[in-house]
Structure 1
Amino acid sequence: MTQTQASPSYHERLWPTPALLGVLLLLIPAVTLVVTPIDKTLALPVAILLYLIIAGTLVLLSPTITVRDGMLTAGRARIPVEFLGDVESLGADALRTAIGPGLDARTHLVIRGWIHRGVRIAITDPQDPAPSWILTTRHPERLAKALGKS
């Protein structure tokens, strides 16, 4: 099967979860309580507007991970697949360690706190200062397969 520029071999948008957007609904009563002493008529509209701004920002700024035409794109960063080494799938505990105490400060990160799995991809390009990329993804095995590293 041949790949065309129109069809990536992997594409994922790191959307916020419905649970996160649901929890953010708690902003509405909280903001309403804070604004009510100032102006009762504006309290609820301000609270709803603030929720919509925050939820909309999370949705609009959700990065994508794409593998297309021999190029891995994660957020705004891109790297040719030929410069990628081993891909390590990270479960919740391994991801927490990888981005916590086990993190090399030079590592490129594209992570979202509401996604609890990911991959660590070794970088083999000697010109690249980052030794690896850590990406959160809901489908680590599919991403590794798309990179040809499964």
Structure 2
Amino acid sequence: MQLSASAYEERLTAPRTWWLVCFLTGVSMALILLPFGTLPLLGGLVGGTAAAAVVTSSYGAIRIRVVGDALIAGEAKIPVSALGTPEILNPEEARAWRTHKANPHAFMLLRAYIPTALRIPVTDPSDPTPYVYLSTREPERLAAALESAKTKA
């Protein structure tokens, strides 16, 4: 497997409103510590905001990349030769494949705050995974990068 410049890369960052929630978590911690004085209040504001920001940042740090002849989605590294034709899912179809159509054996990298997705069948007969479901803001571009990587492989 060759590793070269990434043909596609996307970070599934958390929405902006979640960062407001981080600040409000800090405010909540500050209010809880208010009876203990000004210094604990400031510590609660800074500490609560920082802790919530770390959690939000780590949740939104997941990446989807097409590098060389591999799809790298989070911790998974899948050769594009083991993947079928990608199916672009609009918000309604994506919701259906996340819920009642979902297969418990599928690899799903999903973020509910991203409405669109890509579903890619796994064609390797030795792999029990029926398909890969990836939340993505740019499903057309990801599908094109996968098809391009297939033709180069």
Same fold (TM over 0.5): yes
Question: How far has the Cα of 1:36 moved from its partner?
Answer: 2.2
Return 5+ residue gaps in structure 1 as ranges.
Answer: none
1:111 to 1:25, Cα distance in 2 relative to 1, 3 A: same
Q: Quick check: 1:5 aligned with 2:3? A: yes
What CA distance in whole angstroms lies between the structure 1 residues aligned with 2:121 and 2:128?
Answer: 12
Corresponding residue for residue 31 of structure 2: 33
Q: Quick check: 1:101 aligned with 2:95? A: no
Percent of residue pairs bearing the same amino acid type = 31
Q: What does 1:63-74 align with in structure 2 at a 5 Å threshold?
A: 63-74=62-73
What CA distance in whole angstroms lies between the structure 1 residues aligned with 2:58 and 2:22?
Answer: 16
More deviation, 63-72/25-34: 25-34
TM normalised by structure 1 equals 0.86
Say which structure is richer in helix.
Answer: 2
Question: How far has the Cα of 1:77 moved from its partner?
Answer: 0.4
Question: How far has the Cα of 1:112 moved from its partner?
Answer: 1.7
Q: Quick check: 1:20 aligned with 2:18? A: yes
Question: How far has the Cα of 1:25 moved from its partner?
Answer: 2.1
Corresponding residue for residue 52 of structure 2: 54
More deviation, 126-135/112-121: 112-121
TM normalised by structure 2 equals 0.85
What CA distance in whole angstroms lies between the structure 1 residues aligned with 2:127 and 2:46?
Answer: 45
Q: What's the secondary structure of 2:85's corresponding residue?
A: strand
1:136 to 1:77, Cα distance in 2 relative to 1, 3 A: same
What CA distance in whole angstroms lies between the structure 1 residues aligned with 2:9 and 2:18?
Answer: 22
What CA distance in whole angstroms lies between the structure 2 residues aligned with 1:27 and 1:54?
Answer: 7
Q: What does 1:121-140 align with in structure 2 at a 5 Å threshold?
A: 121-140=120-139
Return 5+ residue gaps in structure 2 as ranges.
Answer: 149-153
What CA distance in whole angstroms lies between the structure 2 residues aligned with 1:120 and 1:126?
Answer: 18
What CA distance in whole angstroms lies between the structure 2 residues aligned with 1:128 and 1:47?
Answer: 48
Q: What's the secondary structure of 1:109's corresponding residue?
A: strand
Q: Quick check: 1:84 aligned with 2:83? A: yes
